Chain A
Amino acid sequence: MKEIINLTKLFINESLGFSLFFYNRKFNKKEYYKQLFTLIIVPVALIPAFFMYVSLMSATYFGLTMINQTSVFLSIGYIMATVLIIVFGVMYILSEFYFSDNMEELIPLPISPRKLIISKFLSILVFEYIFAAFIFLPILIIYGVGQGMGLFYVLLSFFVFVTIPVLPLSLMTALIMLIMQSTSLKGRKDMLQIIFVFIGIAVIFGVQIWFTSQLGNGDEADFQRIMNTLLTNNEGLLNMIGFAMPTSFLMAWALNKITLMSFVWVIALLGITFLACALMVAIGERVYIKSIVSGKIMKKGKRLSSDERSKALIKKSHGAMAVFTMDLRLLLRTPVYFFNNVSVVIIAPLCVWISFSFIQIPPEDLQGMQDFFREMPVLVNFLLIAFFIFFGGTSATTATTFSREGKASWLTRMIPVTAKDQIMGRTGVAILIQSLGILFTIIAVQSIFPLALSTLLLTIILGILGSLPILLFGLFMDMNRPLLNWDNPQKAIKNNMNVVITLFVGMAYTGLLIGVSGLLGYFVNSILGYGVFVLISAILSFVFYKVINERLESEFLNFES
């Protein structure tokens, strides 16, 4: 038991980098204060989002009280939490079990595989509990307070909460272990990871699509009626999802009304959870270590003849182009990077397309909407611009550009490439990805709302220009505090505060910029609106560019100290 706890601590420490934090507290005060600052600022920055979530949930609860349907409240929360835990869990499971390097050191030690598996699982679980606390605790509390529940509810809901991340995660882990050991996947792990994640997303989409199709024919456009349809059909709806997640029934029976039977259901829930864990450990003991030991096989290319080699070297590229190509290759070939930085430009337009195709808008409404848009092109244009900036801002590609190189970053800092080429190459990758997002969005939108070529040109140019300051800000952040000492590429992104900071600053900036220039454009003059937009973006981009260009070379000297 003690060994398991120690191992778990080790894994958590490794993924958070606590040791370095405490080392810095003693020996490197400057770095320590930087880390402390982000440790404080990030939770603070998340408070508004959490507050919004809680108020949304409270509103939903009150909405349900009005139509006497509170019984579905807990189920909705349970299902939502489970789905989210699965989606985010897949990445954690893969990276902790299969993509972290610590197993190579641990396998030779006299530790039983069971203990390794349990501790790895526990170290993932700790994070998922924190996550579940944010998602599911408010739901339990809102319901409990709303229904005036007593002590037994508190006790029982505590046990339900304990089971919530364990069950889906242990089943996912077991499934992943089984798939990862199949011989046909050897040497293709990278691709597999991407596929996995996309399956997870596909599941959400499946639920989503099916959800919307349950809403009926969509001619009842107003929200209240949609809610009504949803809830009067809720038996069918929840039963459907419930069959995929049978434990949601147990949870609902146990907590909706506290009776003597509630205790039985909670005990059943705990029992099932325990069985799932045992199953996962049993499967892991059989397959996990074996598949790790069989080695990380990388797919090799075919041998090249001397002519082929020479041919590959003929073309000379400019420094910026060389940096661009290298950055892009790393991004596309490392699954974690691909998922975090590139997939959003596929998923978001897909969401747009799916919602357009499933919410069937009757022709006369569509006509009306199109007329409405035609009357105020400024607002539509700014809406589109905001959406396009979203792709530049959210992918945070530049905010991890140096961090992604990790221990190989010495190469980047040693070669004689000008700061200008570094900036152009790295920002270029971000713009390329953003452009893909814009392209896919346009394809998705075009079928419903055909846009004029002039509108497209205007919004694309302003969208890219408007995101440039965010991209450069990200680069600026990563230049100042890159995260290089990782052993698992997941950390370059997930533990990287630059991503969070860039995201928040980017969102705030976009809101302000679009707000100010949109209002000016709408109330005063559209040319003025666009003009202000262009001016602000151009000035900020220029300033960031100058600062980075000036400082990059000397910042490179600080990466290791």
Chain B
Amino acid sequence: MLKLEQVSKTYGNKNEKAVDDVSFEVNAGEIFGFVGPNGAGKTTTIKMIVSLLAPNSGKIIINGIDNQENILEAKKQFSYVPDSPELFEKIKGLEYLKFMADVYQVPTAARQERIEKYLDIFEIKDAVNDPIGSFSHGMKQKLALVGALIHDPQVFILDEPMVGLDPKASFELKKIMRDHCDRGRSVFFSTHVLDVAEKICDRIAIIKKGKIIEVGTMAEIREKAGSQESLENIFLELTE
């Protein structure tokens, strides 16, 4: 569903690779967790997947489409919610959602139904007629989530989605992620909350200083580490 092949990226400073030869694959029907210390290269990797940054080398295939050869088609395959979504402050919530529905060409009935459903789940129905500038941080994040779910993407990509959400919302989000995968689609997200990663992810990749140091199911990672410890302990050992 999502495949990275030897992807590398350097910012201005040529000697330091923010992402270094990263390869992994997210299968259909899979929740894939991406963990690593601050500055390890998670956000950079995600931005390359969602066509906000160009990799220096390597290939990214989304649902069979190379995102450097056919950007537009590739963009239709995923939706993305950044770690702290900056949205147009002067635009009203509902105007934003309509915009998203329009650009992804979602049919009328589907957009009405999905928006209604997710607004309900995230409890921001009453705020949708207000300018986004008046939203709280968490409300903005919820709105971005609703906007990202309108076109029911093949790959749902999230950068630290649990930060800033209230307990009810993160519970609902986890349910949505599971449900998404049960319908044969995939979820790819980065997180620092290792408990969450351990509980809901089918597979996990650990990145450190731009390099993938471990990838697999929880069981595989435990086996390699040779211990029955929690992901937290393994993570602390590996990223030492």
The residues of A with any CB-CB pair to B shorter than 8 Å are 27-28, 298-304, 306, 309-310, 312-314, 316-319, 321-323, 325-326, 329-330, 333-334, 405-408, 410-411, 413-418, 553-554, 556-561
Contact A316 B105, CB 8 Å, known A301-B130, A414-B80, A553-B72 = yes
Q: Is B87 an interface residue (CB 8 A)?
A: yes
Smallest CB gap from A23: residue in B: B12
Given A27-B12, A310-B116, also A410-B52 (CB < 8 A) = yes
**Which chain B residues lie closer than 8 Å to A302 at the CB level?**
129
In chain B between 35 and 65, which residues have their CB closer than 8 angstroms to a CB of chain A? Answer: 47, 50-54
* Alpha-carbon gap, A106 to B75, bound state (A): 41
Given contacts A28-B12, A414-B51, A418-B72, contact A317 B92 (CB under 8 A): no
How many angstroms from the CA of A554 to the CA of B67 in the assembled complex?
11
A560-B99 CB under 8 A given contacts A298-B134, A553-B72? no
Given contacts A319-B102, A330-B88, 12 further A-B contacts (CB under 8 A): A304-B94, A304-B128, A310-B116, A313-B108, A316-B107, A325-B99, A326-B99, A405-B88, A408-B87, A415-B104, A416-B103, A561-B12
Contact with A300, one of B13, B125, B130 (Cβ below 8 angstroms): B130
Partner of B115, one of A299, A309, A319, A560: A309
B133 within 8 A of A: yes
Write the nearest CB–CB distance from A408 to chain B, whole angstroms. 5
Q: Does A557 contact B53, Cβ atoms closer than 8 Å? A: yes
Q: How far is the CA of A316 from the CA of B82 in the complex (A)?
A: 26
A413 to B48, CA, bound (A): 12
Asked if B103 and A319 sit within 8 Å, CB to CB, the answer is yes
Do the beta carbons of B129 and A313 come within 8 Å of each other? no
Residues of B within 8 A of A413 (CB): 51-52
A314 B116 Cβ-Cβ under 8 A: no
* 9 closest Cβ pairs, A-B complex: A301-B129, A416-B75, A557-B54, A322-B102, A298-B134, A333-B90, A407-B86, A28-B12, A27-B12
In the bound complex, how far is the Cα of B105 from the Cα of A316, in angstroms?
A: 8
Query: Contact between B98 and A312 (Cβ–Cβ < 8 Å)?
Result: yes
Determine whether the beta carbon of A309 is less than 8 Å from that of B50: no
Q: Which of B13, B100, B126, B133 is A298 in contact with, Cβ under 8 Å?
A: B133
- 11 pairs, A vs B, C-beta closer than 8 Å: A301-B131, A306-B116, A309-B115, A316-B102, A317-B98, A317-B102, A319-B105, A410-B82, A414-B52, A418-B72, A554-B54
Q: Is A313 a contact of B112 with CB atoms below 8 Å? A: yes
The distance in angstroms between the C-alpha atoms of A408 and B147, with both chains bound, is 14
Measured CA separation A147–B103 after assembly (Å): 68
A313-B101, A560-B47, A560-B52 known; A304 vs B87 contact (CB < 8 Å): no
> B115: nearest residue on chain A (CB-CB)?
A313
Cα distance, A558 to B128, chains bound together (Å): 33
Expressed in whole angstroms, the minimum distance between the Cβ of B85 and any Cβ of chain A is 8
B231 near A: Cβ within 8 Å? no
Known: A330-B91, A405-B88. A553 touches B99 (CB 8 A): no
Q: Taking CB as reference atom, which chain B residue is nearest A319?
A: B103
Contacts of B125 in A (CB 8 A): 306, 309
The answer for the CA separation of A298 and B133 in the assembled complex, in Å, is 7
| Given A418-B72, A553-B71, A329-B53 contact (CB < 8 Å) | no
A556 touches B108 (CB 8 A): no
Taking a contact as CB atoms under 8 Å apart, the answer to whether A330 and B90 are in contact is yes
Q: Which residue of A lies closest to B97 (CB)?
A: A313
Residue of A nearest to B157 (CB): A414
A329 to chain B, nearest CB (A): 6
Please give, as numbers and ranges, the residues of chain B lying within 8 Å of A415 by CB-CB distance: 75, 100, 103-104
B75 touches A313 (CB 8 A): no
Which A-chain residue is minimally distant from B102 (CB atoms)?
A: A322
In this assembly, does B76 line the interface, its C-beta being within 8 Å of a C-beta of chain A? yes
Please determine whether A560 and B94 come into contact, CB atoms closer than 8 angstroms: no
What's the Cα separation between A406 and B103 when bound, in Å? 20
